Chains A and B, each alone.
Chain A
Amino acid sequence: MMLSDLMHCFQGVTPAGIATCAADGTPNMALLSQVYYLDEKHVALSCQFFNKTRRNVDQNPYASVRLWDPVSLQPYLMQLRFLRAETSGAVFDDMASRIDAIARVTGMAGVFKLISADVYEVLSLSVLQGALQPAPAMPLPWAVDPRQGGREELRGLQVLSDRLCRARTLEALYTELLASMASLFGSQHALLMLYEEDCGKLIAIDSRGYDRVGAGAEVKPGEGLIGTVAQTRKPLRLSGMAALRRYTRAVRESAQKSGVTLTAEVPLPGLADAQSQLALPLVAHDRLIGVLALESRDPLAFEDWHEAYLSLLANQAALAIAMLSDRDEDEEEVHAEPEPAPLPARRRLFTWFAGDESVFVDGEYLIRGVPARILWKLLREHAQGRREFSNRELRMDESLGLPPIKDNLESRLILLRKRLQERCPDVRIVSVKRGRFVLERDSEILLEERP
């Protein structure tokens, strides 16, 4: 049996047990939150507290670790020898970023942190025969021919790459990217967030598989899984999140008894009962474009290879977004159809709050910041009889405060369009050709301004 055959056991879905022995011959038993696979002969254990286990291996380097398969509960036993504690380097950084993300999403920042990555040599590995009665003859979900699986995934990557290259607009690109996550890669819950440099936040632009699109939701870099990925620009995967939450809750209670102050728990964006998450940074030309976040209710939905090949896809998507965002629009004259009269007895009241530069519709929050300024301009000019607008004139309008380069205008318009679809579907922004759009409405529009 190979150590790599146990990859499911290394995802932290079921905690591991570790036995060590002090120099005086007293054994000690403890739990471990995660065991990390390094190579066929080495694993790393996370040292988060200077505890008895660590003191024992400093005196006597041998340890015995019991792992369980998170689906079948088949136990395995590894006999280990402690080699060294790493406090920097690739292994430490990778383990620390995962633990840090777990800590941030569970409000344990500063308490649940990595002190060292303790590297052990694997002296022996055994399956504990007899622990389980024979299984009914049914293949495990992942027991497929890996060569066939690889071919399928490569084909999926090729199809998506093709679709991204053919997308002519950013909106089409976002739609293809998110739709392909489900149709090609079986990931039913996906969220695309774009980084807005002027406000220093990630803004949700579109999603698939959730009750609401959630366009406009904000995440600060460093906040939760998505914010951590934005900050570190490295993909991050959390598996077995129910188990992680239980484990960190135990640490939280223990820490509170010890008088440690904790920050408020930050709710995870997306599925309330997500069991695994994978977030990928979108980086082009060394610039953060955004984050693509995938979620699943399956605790083992994402594995090492998902992280690797979806990173290829994320790189392609990032480059495509950057290229389409930078492309100049065509500026041909088109003549929109005359605007139909509003439907009788329907009114929408839009309110501009100058203080925080936000727009409310019928008393409910709609949008703020640059997209709000754009919407207010469109609504005011529409009230004076205009209907059709161009991206170029928005760029020329200094009152909107768009940055001179990398203005993300098209993405801001997509965000505005999605927010209107969700909150006020009878007022719409409709593209008539690249770089031009009309404001359509089925209802009478009333405007008011407040401080």
Chain B
Amino acid sequence: MGQVDIAEFLKRGLCVLVATRDAALSPLCVSASAVALDGPGRAIVYLPAYESAPALANLRANGAVAVLVEEPTTHRGIQMKGRSLAVREATVPELDHVAEFVARTKAELSAIGFAPTVLERMNFTPCTAVEFTVEQVFEQTPGPGAGRAVEARA
């Protein structure tokens, strides 16, 4: 099994997508503003308010979550799967982290040709923090290796 340094990867400019599901196993894809590690085997993903309500309802009901982080210029990506532990408002220091994460995301999107006027319009806040366990990590770069389980390097 290969290894991935999640903390190092999360320093890049990344886009974040989150999958949840309801009681009927109907999946839902939402975007996230940012993600951060929160100690061994734990992470926090920040969901923007404009579309998070049904995803938060799913997480409160069953906790199952998959978080894909992807670098737009290279499509390198990893996926973390686990269960939500808590759903709460993001704190002020967390919002600072979100702002810094979003700035890197926008720099990446700018590098692939999106104009500043387009990027300025994107809403990332207000957002809700979802604490979750990281039980499995997968290589997610498109190709024959996508979906392969990898070990999170401490």
Contacts and interface: CB of A to CB of B under 8 A. Distances in A.
Given A60-B25, A62-B25, A250 B143 contact: yes
A105 interface: no
B74 A27 contact: no
Interface stretch (A190-198, A251-259, A314-322): A251-259
A284 interface: no
B62 A31 contact: no
A132 B143 contact: no
A17 B17 contact: yes
A73 B143 contact: no
Interface in A47-72: 49, 51-52, 60, 62-66, 71-72
Nearest to A111: B144
A363 interface: no
Contacts, number: 164
A255 B146 CA distance: 10
Contact of B19 (A60, A64, A131, A252): A64
Contact of A132 (B19, B123, B140): B123
A260 interface: yes
Contacts of B66: 19, 26-29
B118 A71 contact: yes
A64 B29 contact: yes
Interface residues of B, number: 52
B27 A64 contact: yes
A242 B75 contact: no
Interface in B3-27: 17-21, 25-27
Nearest to A65: B29
A246 interface: yes
Chain A interface size, as a band, is 35 or more
Nearest to B79: A29
B93 interface: no
A250 B19 contact: no
Nearest to B62: A25
A258 B147 CA distance: 13
Nearest to B15: A17
Given A132-B121, A254-B145, A15 B75 contact: yes
B29 A49 contact: no
Interface string A128-158: 1111111110000000000000000000000
B60 interface: no
B27 A62 contact: yes
Given A31-B75, A131-B122, A257 B145 contact: yes
Tell me what chain A mostly uses at the interface: helix, strand, loop, or mixed.
mixed
A77 interface: yes
Contacts of A19: 17, 19-21, 27-29, 66
Given A17-B68, A29-B29, A254 B19 contact: no
A63 B26 CA distance: 7
Interface string A302-315: 00000000000000
A33 interface: yes
A240 to B, nearest CB: 10
A82 to B, nearest CB: 12
Contacts of B64: 21, 25-27
Contacts of A66: 17, 29-31
Interface in A11-45: 15, 17-21, 23, 25-31, 33
A299 B48 CA distance: 29
B29 A128 contact: no
Nearest to A243: B112
B43 to A, nearest CB: 14
A51 to B, nearest CB: 5
Contacts of A26: 64, 66, 81
Given A29-B68, A254-B145, A254-B146, 7 more contacts: A29-B17, A49-B143, A72-B118, A250-B74, A251-B142, A254-B143, A299-B113
Can you list the 10 inter-chain pairs with the closest CB atoms, starting with the nearest? A254-B143, A130-B50, A250-B75, A19-B19, A19-B29, A27-B19, A29-B68, A251-B143, A29-B19, A19-B27
9 contacts: A27-B20, A31-B77, A52-B138, A66-B31, A72-B121, A128-B51, A130-B123, A133-B123, A254-B146
